[in-house]
Amino acid sequence: MQEFDVSKLWYQTDLDVFLNRWYANYDEARQSLERHGGFLLPYKHHFFICQPDVISALGLDPAHPDWQKIGRDCARPEDLAAYERLRKLREAVVRARLGNAVSPRSGE
C-alpha cells in the first residue's frame, strides 16, 4: 500500500493551472481569506487561498456544508469534527488516485 504525505493532503501538482494566493505564514493567509474569501488550505509549511474550482479539482464538493462549519479554513478549522469529515473525504480521493481505493463515507 502506497502512503501519501499528509503535509501535501490539500494540494496536488495539477493545481498549478489555477491562480492561488500563497502565503508563508498563517496570519497573512487568514487576513486574505477574511478580506477576499475563498478556501484556506495548508501545504507543507505554507498556506494558500483558492476558489471553489480548486476544491472541485481536489475531488471535493465546495458546497459541502462542512466547509462553512470549519470557516473554510483547513489550517485552523473552527469545527474539528467537520474538518475530520472533510479530511477523510480528501484522503479517500488521494488513496483512490494512488490506486488504494477507500470508499469515502460522508458524515463519519
List the chain domain ranges.
6-97
The 3-class SS string of the chain reads: CCCCCHHHCCCCHHHHHCCCEEECCHHHHHHHHHHHCCEEEEECCEEEEECHHHHHHCCCCCCCHHHHHCCCECCCCCCHHHHHHHHHHHHHHHHHHCCCCCCCCCCC
Per-residue confidence (pLDDT) for residue 108, from 0 to 100 = 41
Query: What is the tens place of the pLDDT at every residue in 4-62?
Result: 677 889 998 888 899 999 999 999 999 999 999 999 999 999 999 999 999 999 999 99
User: What pTM was estimated for this model as a whole?
Assistant: 0.86
Q: Is 60 exceeded by the pLDDT of residue 1?
A: no
Query: What is the tens place of the pLDDT at every residue in 5-20?
Result: 778 899 988 888 999 9
Angle formed at CA 43 by CA 57 and CA 56, multiple of 5 degrees: 10
